[in-house]
Amino acid sequence: MVTAVKHELTESGKRDLEKEIKYLREVKREENIKALQEARAQGDLSENADYDSAKEEQAKINARIVEIESILKNFVIIKKDASGLISTGSTVELLFEGESKAEKFQIIGTLQADPLNGKISNKSPLGKSLLGKKSGEVITYKSETGQPFTIAIKGVK
């Protein structure tokens, strides 16, 4: 028997998915049904771009609902490690070599990763390089492009 991979989520990530699925079911589906009804009222469906567009949107909505349902059936909540070592769920303050200002990042599961907003995956090269480290350490890692970076870990929460 194959064990399903558990999706790692923060509490806020779980809440966000619950809100999204509720919105998709209660708002987007209803909007889509109205769009389909309006398109059907136009007559011939064989060359009806509005109908085709609404059907495509319906498929996207339903696919996302199925995806979220699957995630919410098979997840674990990320718990911060109290040891002071960087783990999934930690927020870290990093100073990249050559920079004068430290940046904050939260290390999270891949589903919630959003690097442009300071949320990095625990599976990314940077995330993997930081796991198990502590404040005060200096590390070097290679990005996805192979470029090496040296980083000073200034803080861990």
Tens-place pLDDT, residues 63-89: 999 999 999 999 999 887 778 899 998
Four-residue CA torsion sign, 100, 108, 115, 18: negative
Same domain, 25 and 67: yes
Same domain, 25 and 56: yes
> Which of these three, 44, 77, 110, is where a domain ends?
77
pLDDT digits 0-9 by tens, 16-50: 999 999 999 999 999 999 999 988 888 776 777 88
This prediction's pTM: 0.77
Same domain, 149 and 95: yes
Mean pLDDT of 117-122: 94
How much is the pLDDT for 130?
95
Asked whether residue 2 is assigned to any structural domain, the reply reads no
| Number of domain units in the chain | 2
Which secondary-structure segment (H or E) carries 156?
Answer: strand 148-156
Asked whether residue 67 is assigned to any structural domain, the reply reads yes
Same domain, 71 and 129: no
> Which of these three, 18, 53, 77, is where a domain ends?
77
Same domain, 47 and 100: no
Q: Identify which of 2-16, 43-57, 60-74 has the greatest average pLDDT.
A: 60-74
Same domain, 71 and 97: no
CATH number of 61's domain: 1.10.287.180
Share of the chain above pLDDT 90, in %: 68
What is the overall mean pLDDT for the chain?
90
Mean pLDDT of 106-133: 93
Same domain, 73 and 100: no
Which secondary-structure segment (H or E) carries 95?
Answer: strand 91-96
Asked whether residue 1 is assigned to any structural domain, the reply reads no
Tokens of 145: 């492009």
Structural domain that includes position 113: 91-156
Share of the chain above pLDDT 70, in %: 97
